[in-house]
Amino acid sequence: MKTVLITGCSSGFGLEIARYFLDRNWQVIATMRTPHEGILPPSENLRILTLNVTNEESIRRAVEAAGPIDVLVNNAGFGAAAPIECTSIATVREIFETNTFGTIALTQAVLPQFRQRKAGVVINVTSSVTLKALPLVGIYRASKAAVNAFTESLAAEVEQFGIRVRLVLPGRAPETRFGENARPHMAGLNHEAYSELVKNFFGAFGEPGLITHSQDVAEAVWRAATDPDSPIHIPAGADAEAWAAE
């Protein structure tokens, strides 16, 4: 039985990915900053661990407690919508600490066991906003684009050890808590100089259209984990697939 370690499992994509792998009889190590009992169905194949990807000691303890794994899914992350001019450097650092540096740090912590076994899969969940220039998500987009670049280079480095590296790029997912988690960092939206841009952006963003569901992301992650012939870039969701095809 194979084992997957997934970050950011308290809600949204991470929670759905954990459910998806449990349903397919994998050993699942679901990690989150503050563990919550009852959010996943009871299973002898499930372990829940505390993990803060911005803390080196937390990473060390979680990787040690997890033991050997077959797949790492770097899903933890958050964003904020605001004009770049109005985004505090503290918020910029926080976004990069979680989305970029946390992903790199956890990957570094897991790679030695993969390399020694000459097997393993690293899957980094980023975003389809990296596929085109959009206003108001510049910092979030930059943090995820950095992960894209890091992932592509990592794939070239570790292929020689039998390690596969993949990117999953979800689209817009209204059903997740992304907006709720981002709200404390979005004060810059109130700047009057950008009011018209903000109004137009969120008006268009709220219109009916192609969207991504959490299951789309879980299916894409499953493909990345189990299909050796999957491409390095895997869009997840109808809107992400449409953008990737442009």
Catalytic status, residue 140: yes
Nearest by Cα to 179 from 138, 137, 123: 137
Q: For the chain, what percentages of helix, strand and coil (3-state, to nearest 5) are there?
A: 55, 15, 30
Degrees, nearest 5: CA angle 92-216-104: 35
Catalytic residue among 140, 150, 194, 222: 140
Give the contacts of 96 (CB within 8 A, at least 6 positions apart).
142, 143, 146
Residue positions counted in the chain: 246
Is residue 5 classed as helix, strand or coil in its secondary structure? strand
Which residue numbers are catalytic?
140
